[in-house]
Amino acid sequence: MKDAITIMPTEDIAGCGPLLPGGRGAKIPLRQQVFQFVRGNGTAARTDITRALDISAGSATTITADLISAGVLREIATPGRENGRGRPPVALQIVPDVAHVIGIKLSYEKHTAVLTDFAGNIVADVAIGTGLKRRSLPQFLDEITSLIAQVLVAANMTIGQIKAIGIGLPGIIDHASGRIVWSALLQDRNEDLRGAFAKRFPMPLYLDNDANLLTLAELWFGAGRTMRDFAVVTIENGVGMGLVIDNRLYRGTHGMGLELGHTKVHLDGALCRCGQRGCLEAYLADYALAREATTALELPFKALAPPGEILNTLFQDAKAGNSAAQTIFRRAGRYLSVGLSNVVQLFDPPLIILSGERMQYDYLYAEEVFDEMQKLVLSEGRKPCQIAIHAWGDLVWARGATALALSALTDTMIGGEEPV
């Protein structure tokens, strides 16, 4: 299994969004396909568009002229791209300032916001620390309002210049309705965040589970840009999963699927913060490992540090040879093997990207973890699933939220669809 493991770089490449064109069979309007092709590549000549989308030169000229007239595309000079006489060579590029969005990731210890233009370029970003407590919905909105205000100041912009906002948070999120069915960040269940948000802000809000945001970040800015199908498994404060099928994020029939962290791996097992027992998250997430570490490190319960600090100490002890600390990580790795094998068995993805802050702990991507995963899979006749490690920082989750907002805004501004 060793050759199937890749430690992935995090450098940005030109453009943003999926790089696989839809072609004639795509379900989105051709006008939108042309726009997305240009944005995905950063710049593109009309000849590139005709080849990639398999359309006529006349169609490409007509559609791009329409998009230029609408103010969302512009021509730029490209010296040396073409030879011969006549008109100087030109390419097309997104007009970045035609719209701006804000993406927000809400979490247990830190909230992050990113403001980007319509081409996906970061204009400003901010982060604020939070307390480890459950909030009421009004308190939650106050935190969101403060975060928006701070990122606007950092960008020297006003709220009137923002066209849409994307927000992600841990929990079970109804993307279609904008309701938070359950989240450990909130005191109550079934909270209508979109409705409450609309009373304070004039632009649309797009809400999703934070694991879906990280999956969108991979699809728009990372390793998933050239992949038609892939899965993302996140390990941080919780355990999440996102799935891309045929170049699109899959959420399930009701928009609340792929809750890998709350699949059961032990009947009547450890208590999960969702209130049930035996969830994968209860053996693998930050709080689960920190709970075990309090015993291994002999920490007094009342003097506990934040989970991240406890885990860093636990990891240092494991590296220094503390057998109890090593056992905790290895046990977590075995549960990760079970979770990943279930993902492979159910969805058969060609690639699983393991991401999140906890992927800095090499015990979780040790070779034996993936060897055990492979042993648990019915693998006869199956091409081995590739595993990639991508230890993104906190900022990229918020960038995934900008992708959520940009995608919705593209549908309404370019594709002519009604807002969700």
Q: For residue 88, what is the DSSP state?
A: P
Q: What angle do CA 255, 32, 211 make, to 5 degrees?
A: 30
pLDDT of residue 132: 64
Average pLDDT of span 294-305: 68
C-alpha 289/C-alpha 314 separation (Å) is: 9
CB of 274 closer than 8 Å to CB of 262: yes
pLDDT of residue 417: 59
C-alpha 257/C-alpha 282 separation (Å) is: 19
pTM across the whole model: 0.87
C-alpha torsion 185→143→307→360, nearest 10: 110
pLDDT of residue 404: 96
pLDDT digits (tens, 9 = 90+) for 268-297: 999 998 889 999 999 988 888 888 888 777
Average pLDDT of span 156-180: 95
Q: How many helices (H) and strands (E) does the chain have?
A: 12, 17
pLDDT of residue 184: 87
Q: Which domains does the chain have, with CATH numbers?
A: 9-96 (1.10.10.10), 98-216+396-413 (3.30.420.40), 226-393 (3.30.420.40)
pLDDT of residue 87: 62
pLDDT of residue 81: 46
Find the distance separating the first CA and the last CA of the chain, reported in whole Å: 43
Q: Is 80 exposed, middle or buried (0-12, 13-18, 19+ CB in 10 A)?
A: exposed
Q: What are phi and psi of 187, to 5 degrees?
A: -70, -35
Query: Residue 290: what residue type?
Result: A
- For the chain, give the percent of residues with pLDDT over 90: 57
Closest CA to 109 of 139, 135, 129, 126: 129
b/e per residue 21-51 (b: at least 16 CB within 10 A): bbeeeeebebbbbbbbbbbbbebbbbebbbe
Mean pLDDT (the chain, rounded): 87
Closest CA to 213 of 200, 203, 222, 204: 222
The DSSP-derived string for 306-353 is PHHHHHHHHHHHHHTT-HHHHHHHHHHHHHHHHHHHHHHHHH--SEEE
Average pLDDT of span 357-371: 80
Average pLDDT of span 362-387: 84
Q: 171 pLDDT exceeds 80?
A: yes
Identify the three-state secondary structure at position 287: helix
Q: How far is CA 274 from the centre of its chain?
A: 22
CB of 43 closer than 8 Å to CB of 17: no
Contacts of 134 (CB under 8 A, 6+ apart): 184, 185, 186, 187
pLDDT digits (tens, 9 = 90+) for 174-205: 999 999 999 989 999 999 999 999 999 999 99
